[in-house]
Amino acid sequence: MSSDVIESVIQGGTLYIVATPIGNLDDLSGRAIETLRRVDLVAAEDTRHSQRLLQHLGLRKDMLALHDFNERERTASVVNRLRSGVSIALISDAGTPLISDPGFVLVREARAQGVTVSPVPGSCALIAALSAAGLPTDRFLFEGFLPAKRSGRRAALSAVAREAATLVFYESPHRILDTMTDIVEVMGNEREVVLARELTKTFETFYSGTAVVVSENLRADPFATKGEFVVMIHGAEPEPEEAPGLDVEHMLSLLVDALPVKQVARIAAELSGLPRNELYRRAQAIKDGQRER
């Protein structure tokens, strides 16, 4: 896009949501550069970090810190400046603002106050990772960062364990090994997992395979705990349904009268399409009930 076209869309009183690189600075779009050049103010998650990006671009801009700890108290004043005609670019440390980064409170209030909010698209770690992971992308569920504590992390994984969509999480390098252990324990050894590390950077790495294999490969890699991770997990297979018109409970009751429970489960699984271990449990419960009578 030429600079004269870009100039025509930079308007006072507009909040621009500008995506910045997640690693490779060449991923910053020409439109993003021109937007940063022409706005009156840049609101940044970490002004010191973002100042280095602006210096790389040869820009000197007025900046305002807007992060998780001050966003609520600063939103009103930022919106007032927008309503007075100031153009502002919101950026995060890396990637697209609001995607596990600050900005939701500001954007929601700006829109509520009638302020124009305009996205300037670009890098996003979860989209970049999914595009190269080889997992289904027709449906995916982004859950942000998993809880830091093991109990909370396992509870979060359990809550989505039967979700059919591809699951996507962000994870820090110092928790990735523990997280993989929890994935194996909660979702099983054979669930397909892809990890993306250091995306767009020199040591970009993808680990893929079953959960247990990825966990083992990660532990064998001396560089595995360096760099941020995108964790992607194949969605759960759909639960099989009972064959229409088949009374599974009645069938199990008849079979347990004549056969061992293990054999009952095998036969019932072939006839119904239901998991053998579930049928074994149900058949055993019927047999135990008969004994009690």
**3-123: CATH superfamily:** Tetrapyrrole methylase, N-terminal domain (3.40.1010.10)
Residue-level pLDDT at 14: 97
* Residue 277 pLDDT level (bands cut at 50, 70, 90): confident
Per-residue pLDDT tens digits for 86-104 = 999 999 999 999 999 999 9
CATH topology of domain 126-233: 3.30.950
Contact call for residues 129 and 232 (beta carbons, < 8 A):
yes
Task: For residue 125, give the nearest of 174, 162, 92, 88 by alpha carbon.
Answer: 92
Structural domain boundaries in the chain:
3-123, 126-233, 248-292
50 or 249: which carries more pLDDT confidence?
A: 50
Q: Locate 139 and state its tokens.
A: 């449906």
Q: Which band of pLDDT confidence, cut at 50, 70 and 90, is reported for residue 244?
A: low
User: Strand locations in the chain, DSSP E?
Assistant: 14-18, 41-44, 63-65, 88-91, 116-120, 140-145, 166-171, 192-197, 205-210, 229-233
According to DSSP, the residues that pair with 65 across neighbouring strands are 44
7-17 tens-digit pLDDT: 545 788 999 99
